Structure 1
Amino acid sequence: MIDLKSVVVLLFVLSTVFCLAQGEPVVEGDGRYKEDQFYIGVTYNLLGKQPTDLKQSGFSTGFHLGFIKDMPINKARNKAIGLGLGISANSFNQNLLVFEDDAGTINYSIEGADTFTKNKFSSHFIEVPLEFRWRTSTATSYEFWRIYGGFKFSYMLANTTKYIGDLGTFKYNDVSDFNKVQYGLTLSAGYNLWNLYVYYALNPVFSNDAQLNGENIDIHAIKVGLMFYIL
């Protein structure tokens, strides 16, 4: 499980990158401005391609934090490529039980909603977003419309599954069946600080080793929420 020390170290790295990326200050109206930005996001996490009887319960959340380097590609500088580095923490509350038997084999089953009080899996990622950015900004305007679409590559630092219910209490760290590498499409659009955000995973949460009733568990992550960009 990722600890606070790891988060602090990564935030220090992000802050250092931010400071180094600022370079020579931009004089008002000189046409060299960039939108180098920190981003903070909160999402409601969904599972797509759910097998029969798998249902989500409670509120599944995601928290996202990072920095994106802005690289304008036109003279007006309202179009750019953004490349970033960030971290995220995600949880999914649902009724898919992850259970390790005496032989150390991970098994999966669908449990009734009335048989447990908690059943979730959570994960922490280091992420690299790549965006094509369009906005109505200028060198003197800090409030503008934006549409940023792109791709996000994620590497799992840690995962945890936890169950509390009629079968007892189970908690497993770093279950090997989770896909360490995950990636998907992103879109954020809005005005000033407030931006709607959507992420759609292109590969499944679990590897082919994770099977339910002899079939692959082909669930995909979908995240919908708000993204805040800060200069």
Structure 2
Amino acid sequence: MRLFLSCFLFFTVFNVFAQQNTAPEIVPLAKIDSLYREDQFYFAITYNTLSDKPAGLSQSKFSSGFSGGFLRDMPINKKRTVAIASGIGFSYNNYNQNMSITSTPSGNEYAIIDADAKYSKNKFSLLSVDVPVEFRWRTSTFESHKFWRIYTGIKFSYLLYDKSAFNSSMGKTHINGNKDFDKIQYGAYISSGYNTINLYAYYGLNPLFKSAKIAGEPVKMNALNLGIIFYIL
């Protein structure tokens, strides 16, 4: 009986000490990325309009634009809420309007289509490679990719491809490689919003055409594109 009681007391005390000496749970520490960057990729969808239009020129159909590319984010303050960014991208823009472009032996001719004329399509399309340079302000932290932002800058573009199309009951007219377009475009833009989707606006600082004329008057139309832009890490 004494032997039984001794064994019982020994194992009871052993279990108590064993419970007291249990190793504490190790909780991994969150690693703070003090060198994080933001918004490396972008994609924009825009509604395209024209400013400084010649007399009689109008836009009746929806004109769309698409652009996308990569930007290198370079923070310039300790909190990394202020940065500059630059990169490369591409844009494709359509402009539906009532200015006809026809090819003649002496060069392209431009005219406002008569209001009574019937046609199914009249537009010009531009494909460009872009180099944006922008200043960035945001409320970002290393813990979250959801924040307010205001980005603004200048975008330089080089025209890679252009096409003018006019379809009517008289036939189809397509012109590529129109030398009257200005190959080099540049303009100011701004984007602002919260999280992934943001409002976007671009205004061309130089005309789309460098040598087009209607009735002897230079065509000095500038691009004005409004839409939304998506940012992705």
Q: Do both proteins adopt the same fold according to a TM-score greater than 0.5, normalized to the shorter chain?
A: yes
Matches within 5 A, 1:100-115: 100-101=103-104, 103-115=105-117
TM-score normalized with structure 2 length: 0.85
Shift in Å, 1:36:
4.5
Aligned 1:161-180 pairs, distance under 5 A: 161-180=164-183
Name the structure 2 match of 1:92: 95
Distance in 1 between residues matched to 2:218 and 2:203, nearest whole Å: 19
Q: How many equivalent pairs are there?
A: 203
Q: Unpaired segments of 5 or more residues in structure 2?
A: 1-29
Superposition deviation, residue 166 in structure 1: 4.3
Equivalent position of 1:158 in the other structure:
161
Candidates 192, 196, 201, aligned match of 1:193: 196
**How big is each residue's C-alpha offset from its partner over 1:68-115, in whole Å with a ceiling of 9 and x where there is no partner?**
0000010000000010100011000000000012x1410000003542
Equivalent in the alignment of 2:63: 60
Contact 2:39 2:231 in 1 (8 A): no
Q: Is the 8 A contact 1:28 1:139 kept in 2?
A: no
Task: Provide Cα deviations, 1:16-70, integer angstroms capped at 9, x if missing partner.
Answer: xxxxxxxxxxx84232111151101100000000111100121100000100000
Instruction: Give, as a single letter, the amino acid of the residue that structure 2 aligns with 1:39.
Output: Y
Distance 2:115 2:193 in 1: 37
Q: C-alpha offsets along residues 161-191 of structure 1, whole Å, 9 cap, x if unaligned? A: 0001144310011111001000000100000
Quote the residue 1:75 is aligned against.
78
Structure 1 residues not aligned, in runs of 5+: 1-26
Determine if contact 1:93/1:120 at 8 Å carries over to the other structure. yes
- Give the whole-Å Cα distance in 1 for the aligned partners of 2:181 and 2:220: 11
**Which amino acid is the alignment partner of residue 128 of structure 1?**
V
CA 59–217 in structure 1, closer or farther in 2 if over 3 Å, else same: same
Alignment TM-score, normalising by the size of structure 1: 0.85
Structure 1 runs of 4+ with >4 Å offset: none
Greater Rg over alpha carbons, structure: 2
For 1:195 and 1:135, locate their aligned partners in 2 and report how far apart those are by CA, in whole Å: 13
- Given that residues 99 and 107 in structure 1 are in contact (C-alpha distance below 8 angstroms), is that contact kept between their aligned partners in structure 2? yes
CA deviation digits over 1:143-173, x for unaligned, max 9? Answer: 0010000000000000000001144310011
3-state SS of paired residue (1:182) = strand
Q: Following the alignment from structure 2 to structure 1, what is the Cα–Cα distance between the partners of residues 192 and 75?
A: 18
Which moves more between the two structures, 110-119 or 76-85? 110-119
